[in-house]
Structure 1
Amino acid sequence: MLVPLLIMLREGIEAALIVGIIASYLKQTGRGQWMPAVWLGVFLAAAVALLVGGGLEWMAAEFPQKQQELFEGVIGLLAVVMLSFMVIWMRKMARSLKAELQGSLDHALAGSHHQTLALVAMVFFAVAREGLETVFFLLAIFQQSEGYGAPLGALIGLLGAIAVGVALYRGSLKLNLSQFFRWTGLFILVVAAGILANSVRALHEAGVWNTLQAVVFDVSETLPMDGPVGSVLAGMFGYQDAPTVSVLGAWALYLVVALTLFFMPGTHKKPVPSTSTVTQH
């Protein structure tokens, strides 16, 4: 429950931050009449994310066991790639995010034709990116969890993100976003390592990956995966009580590469001054 809650909270706040920056900039520059187009873009992005998530979940339920294992492995790999990229990208580009969004907004509204469509498209792609990566990550978590704890955690996280987003926009909440994204990003990378390990095991069970299957160690007697502590560790970090060379190697290699990229100093571009003069039709 904790993992989907934190993932949804982080990604929801990230999406809310993007929408908040756009809304605030429109208000500050006297272009509040464009807000319906912003909300339309948000609605379309949320609808696409829900349709993709629901469609993939429905497809997985129709597969036989072996194909379900393959599906779980592929979804897990996609989730790891998407979330890793976005966590590291957010870490490097957070300082210039506001300027880039404002520049994109001015560009969308600068033309004399199709301004509404351009604004809807800009908001749609900005929010849909967050929504789709969250969908893939949550699907990977749901497939490796049982019961209603994971969906409930995601719902609580979403409600929390909406509340935080509204409070940030109104100025009633002060949150150190840099530290928030830093620590939640680290947490997501550790979770992603566990998803990767489970994906490698799923690919083996599907008959796709059969290399390096020697068991490194077996602690199933002292810390079984189906025990109270083991089940929590398995649900949060992909713990396995008898990992193979390929599973443990993928987990360790991913963490080394991901954490190195995460802590590597970024090259921040100078914000490009945006123009607020637009032609409205």
Structure 2
Amino acid sequence: MLAPFLIMLREGIEAALITGIVATYLRQTGRGAWLPAVWVGVLLAVAVSLFAGAGLELVQAEFPQKAQELFEAVVGLVAVGVLVSMVFWMRKAARSMRATLEASVEASFTGSSSGGWALIGMVFFAVAREGLESVFFLMAVFEQSSGPGAALSALAGLAVAALIGFAIYVWGVRLDLRRFFRFTGVFILVVAAGLLASVLRNLHEAGLWNGLQELAWDMSDTLPVSSPGGTVLSGLFNYQPAPTLGEVAVWAVFLVVSLWLFLRPAPRRSGERAHV
């Protein structure tokens, strides 16, 4: 499944960039002794994300069927929200990420004797943001998938991101991050559109939405989900062979609006440069 791989790759690279920029700045400014504080912040963020995911999964298991459908709809909405915010936040923040993080590191050591705790907190909140985004996305994907494929794909994406982050930190490997984030941003918005359509389906199954339930088309015989092509499309974009008019309308409106906002040229102030 390509969707979990690419999204976890992107999330992992964002976390690796944050960690790598902070660690490199500490080393360049003679504060290498504080590097363990960076890794403590990262490990705490990973632990909190794992506990949050486990807790939400345990809570969901106790719900009756209709309540589970409603819970899945809420998780799907949150996942769409965090995916969209992630895409647009990185589009804006990538231009000044390095300068912002370096200023935050300096602020954590200025006028305070507890610089280590401030540094841990800064790294923790930055990485935890990526981790919690990943939790909600993966929960939404796992609810639409069966088998270990999605989990293995997500782990592979994180592993590749970790290797890229290590290479950037140790060897100074340079990537065209602007192009990478632009490509993955478009892909993520398409995935988010599919998740939003599934939210409408969950709301219908929970008994909360009954409008526009006429079938838009039925490709169950032409391209069923069980076929190789249907399996790929389902894993990538939450493809349904017989979507309702409401699902198609939500998918199309969201995708047109979000892609237009994402792909339009970003306003740039005079003298502004890209920093990543």
**TM-score band (shorter)?**
over 0.9
CA shift, 1:229, in A, is: 1.6
- Give structure 1 regions of 4+ aligned residues with deviation exceeding 4 angstroms: 268-272
Task: Give the distance between the partners of 2:173 and 2:49, measured in 1 at CA.
Answer: 28
1:155 matched to 2:155: yes
Contact kept? 1:224, 1:241, Cα under 8 Å: yes
Residue 204 of structure 2 aligns with an amino acid whose one-letter code is H
In structure 2, the partner of 1:118 is 118
SS in structure 2 of the partner of residue 95 of structure 1 = coil
CA shift, 1:63, in A, is: 2.1
Residue 61 of structure 2 aligns with an amino acid whose one-letter code is A
Contact kept? 2:140, 2:195, Cα under 8 Å: yes
In structure 1, the partner of 2:8 is 8
In structure 2, the partner of 1:220 is 220
CA shift, 1:234, in A, is: 1.4
1:177 matched to 2:177: yes
CA shift, 1:269, in A, is: 6.3
Structure 1 residues 111, 210: closer, same or farther in 2, change over 3 A?
A: farther
List per-residue Cα deviations over 1:36-94 (Å, max 9, x = no partner): 21111111111111111111122222222222211111111100001101111101221
In structure 2, the partner of 1:139 is 139
Of the structure 1 ranges 230-239 and 76-85, higher mean CA displacement relative to structure 2 is found in 230-239
Structure 1 residues 267, 104: closer, same or farther in 2, change over 3 A?
A: farther
Task: Give the distance between the partners of 1:82 and 1:45, measured in 2 at CA.
Answer: 17
Contact kept? 1:92, 1:268, Cα under 8 Å: no
In structure 1, the partner of 2:74 is 74
Contact kept? 2:72, 2:202, Cα under 8 Å: yes
Structure 1 residues 154, 270: closer, same or farther in 2, change over 3 A?
A: farther
Alignment map for 1:8-87 (pairs within 5 Å): 8-87=8-87
* Contiguous gaps of at least 5 residues in structure 1: 273-281
Residue 232 of structure 2 aligns with an amino acid whose one-letter code is V
* Contiguous gaps of at least 5 residues in structure 2: none
Contact kept? 2:9, 2:158, Cα under 8 Å: yes
Task: Give the distance between the partners of 1:37 and 1:270, measured in 2 at CA.
Answer: 37
TM-score (norm 1): 0.92
In structure 1, the partner of 2:242 is 242
Task: Give the distance between the partners of 1:82 and 1:12, measured in 2 at CA.
Answer: 15
In structure 2, the partner of 1:98 is 98
SS in structure 1 of the partner of residue 242 of structure 2 = coil
Task: Give the distance between the partners of 1:269 and 1:59, measured in 2 at CA.
Answer: 47
Task: Give the distance between the partners of 1:100 and 1:250, measured in 2 at CA.
Answer: 37
Task: Give the distance between the partners of 2:172 and 2:122, measured in 1 at CA.
Answer: 28
Count of matched residue positions in the alignment of Structure 1 and Structure 2: 272
Contact kept? 2:217, 2:242, Cα under 8 Å: yes
Task: Give the distance between the partners of 1:218 and 1:12, measured in 2 at CA.
Answer: 38
Contact kept? 2:190, 2:237, Cα under 8 Å: yes
SS in structure 1 of the partner of residue 95 of structure 2 = helix
Quote the sequence identity (%).
Answer: 58
TM-score (norm 2): 0.93
Task: Give the distance between the partners of 1:30 and 1:271, measured in 2 at CA.
Answer: 30
